[in-house]
Chains A and B, each alone.
Chain A
């Protein structure tokens, strides 16, 4: 190969690298390596002066290749490749050697770390001469955005994007948008009513011409790549012509099947088979439940709904529709599900009456809920005493290890609502630690103390119905150690509220696989970087917002939704986007036309060209996995940026020391 002049730049990263790796030694060593013309060390290579070093060496010292030994390329490769470009070097002639995440941070012994740093760096030094200039592929960007999930996060993101004139597809699985927030009564700590602040946004989203609402729909398949996603959406049959339906709910009143547990009311009330989940639903359209409707389940029915429907909107023949949509960016806002307390058998949820989950209490305390906002036990009487048990399923190695962040606050909110409705009722909060981290939260906690709620520092041991004393007769008994007193107490109460944690949706994993990004070990969607890219995923063009990423309160969710919208906008507002040129190519001369690669390509990016009797790569479709390269017996397909000889050279370099 021609004489190359390699510049090596080794970053101290303060003491992050230099604290463990002997940077001077590595620099000295690097200077002696083949083709290395210059080896420098610098405190912070990512700083402007650091980047200038590279630019200068290119301009003044004729550097033709460069390697930066510093942090992970996922962190700063773009930074340094840009610097190289600014210096007049093709960006792909610069490589990074990850001696921080993969070396200094994970190794204790300094000598060992220094040796490893040399190997990691050596691999890149050996590879560089074989690097060839590449041009990023510029592809057009589809300006439309898809938002998946119609809770407060999805609604907010969709509205923000629509306001910039972008077309937004808002996909919601349920018949109406609104998500969990629509089920809440009040919101902490300000206690403004959830409906009052949410419904305006819901109807705004419904009216917004730039938002195409796809309620009662689910994403089934995602193809393509940043700027050019092809999404299949299944629009489930409502058996209602939504153009004709006026949302008058006459079909609901007419329907003979009336005993379906209402999802929206957590099963505390019943709905008909033809239903509108709640009065403020958007879109305000009826849905016929195919699993309960007599006609749709093949039973006899006089179909009074049809008779009741003026505009003749009911259509039992309606079928699921499959839409194919093209968008440039996707925002995931699929939310959470409440951790089901049933497995925590010692709290007798589902076994004893009046042991209820937090979402059930949200509905009970809600003016539009099953009890009209009257806080009552199953027998219709107001509870004289209520225990609120914190950390149900949370901070527990047997269930969910993490803290769900919102439970302490919503539990305080419950206590307040109870005191507001029933001032005479005794309220006990059994907590491990009171976590009131947000704006105005600690003040709210103080306020509740003043409302003489009983705070017991201790995680409830069990909820029992066995009465050991007259005052326990017919009561639920909460057994808990008051750890501040060191005394175990038995609290006889009429109602127990289980403050369950927030859990990832049961199908979060499957969803993440459809869209092609990962989940964290706790099951929530994995962000690209926990601090600097909390709303991005590893897949360019796909963003996340709200509780699908991690439990968070409404303010944080709304803020994140805005951030995700901005991220998507920053992408789709451009005519084109540059994608990595590290894709495969096939030399028709060498190819024997054996078809192996054609069948193996995950993206059908290789097709067989009959007249050339050779396979050929469709560049637009190739995503650069390199499967074809590895599969070909004669090594004909090659992958730019990952040529065999480049990988071989890295191997050699990694083993010279």
Chain B
């Protein structure tokens, strides 16, 4: 996204999605750092949260984010074969379709949760992904679960998190 177009997107009062990004510490977090050191520009909508491995990201984290008011969630990990933990990212990849199924059951556009492989050398890719993702979610519009949901998926035992656990691959 060019400087100009980002400026526009800021000054105009269009919908600004709130995004959470779970970044694996070894590849994607460093990729995001590289985007920074290379002074690449991308929309400010996504707040990164560091985990050691994308395999650590758990459906409840996504549910929590959406329930707390996020309009979309990005999970970014090492490319297949590059995982610092041999195959943690394969676990993520394996789990991802089930996450999508779950989200569909909850009547949510699958596009709101996205999985990407971003290596430590791919600052440009990180910037591109965040830019695309922001625009896609902007197009989808607000999710607004925060106001809707009375249940807090974070607290075990509540309806939401029960649903979550059913969907976790056994």
Contacts and interface: CB of A to CB of B under 8 A. Distances in A.
Interface of A: 72-74, 98, 100-103, 105-109, 111-113, 115-116, 119-120, 123, 512-513, 516, 518-521, 526, 538-539, 582, 596, 600, 602-603, 623-627, 629-631, 633-635, 639, 642, 644-645, 647-648, 650-652, 654-655
A460 B55 CA distance: 51
Given A113-B44, A633-B165, A596 B170 contact: yes
Nearest to B60: A644
Contacts, number: 164
A567 B22 CA distance: 32
Given A102-B48, A513-B81, A639-B56, 17 more contacts: A102-B32, A103-B44, A106-B36, A107-B41, A108-B41, A518-B121, A526-B121, A539-B84, A600-B91, A625-B55, A626-B52, A626-B53, A629-B56, A633-B168, A639-B52, A651-B70, A655-B20
Contact of B20 (A72, A103, A651): A651
6 pairs of A and B residues whose beta carbons are closest in the complex: A101-B36, A626-B56, A625-B85, A630-B58, A625-B53, A627-B55
B10 interface: yes
7 contacts: A101-B37, A109-B10, A120-B48, A625-B53, A639-B52, A651-B20, A655-B18
A582 B56 CA distance: 12
A591 B147 CA distance: 35
Given A602-B85, A651-B68, A625 B168 contact: no
Interface in B10-63: 10-11, 18, 20, 26-27, 29-30, 32-33, 35-37, 39-42, 44, 47-53, 55-58, 60-61
B7 A109 contact: yes
A106 B48 CA distance: 13
A303 B44 CA distance: 73
A630 B91 contact: yes
A108 B52 contact: no
Contact of B56 (A108, A115, A627): A627
A634 B165 contact: yes
Contacts of A639: 52, 56
Nearest to B61: A647
B116 interface: no
A113 B41 CA distance: 11
B6 interface: yes
B3 interface: yes
Interface in B56-85: 56-58, 60-61, 64-65, 68-70, 78, 81-85
A512 B70 CA distance: 36
A105 B37 CA distance: 7
Contacts of A113: 44
Contacts of A101: 32-33, 35-37
A651 to B, nearest CB: 5
A20 B36 CA distance: 13
A648 B3 contact: no
Nearest to A632: B168
Contacts of B81: 513
A362 B80 CA distance: 40
A512 B87 CA distance: 15
A103 B37 CA distance: 11
B86 interface: yes
Contact of B120 (A518, A625, A651): A518
Contacts of A654: 20, 47, 49
A55 B169 CA distance: 46
B7 A108 contact: yes
Given A518-B120, A626-B53, A627-B53, A655 B82 contact: no
Contacts of B70: 651, 655
Contacts of A625: 52-53, 55-56, 84-85, 88
B137 interface: no
Given A635-B156, A651-B61, A652-B68, A518 B40 contact: no
A232 B36 CA distance: 38
A627 B36 contact: no
A365 B120 CA distance: 42
Contacts of B119: 518-519
B115 interface: no
A513 B27 CA distance: 13
Contacts of A520: 121
A115 B18 CA distance: 11
A627 B85 contact: yes
A182 B87 CA distance: 39
Nearest to A627: B55
B47 A648 contact: no
Contacts of A644: 58, 60-61
Contacts of A627: 53, 55-56, 85, 88, 91
Nearest to A122: B47
B93 interface: no
Contacts of B20: 651, 654-655
Nearest to B11: A109
Given A625-B55, A627-B56, A102 B84 contact: no
B56 A112 contact: no
A516 B29 CA distance: 16
A51 B131 CA distance: 36
A518 B52 contact: no
B114 interface: no
B3 A538 contact: no
B95 interface: yes
Interface centre among A74, A123, A538, A630, by most chain B C-beta atoms within 10 angstroms, is A630
Contacts of A634: 165
Contacts of A72: 33, 36
B127 interface: yes
Interface in B77-126: 78, 81-88, 91, 95, 119-122
Given A627-B55, A644-B60, A648-B61, A105 B48 contact: no
B68 A516 contact: no
Contacts of B29: 74
Contacts of A539: 84
B156 A102 contact: no
A165 B4 CA distance: 60
A652 B61 CA distance: 11
A313 B10 CA distance: 77
B122 to A, nearest CB: 7
A45 to B, nearest CB: 17
A538 B56 contact: no
B50 to A, nearest CB: 8
Contacts of B156: 635
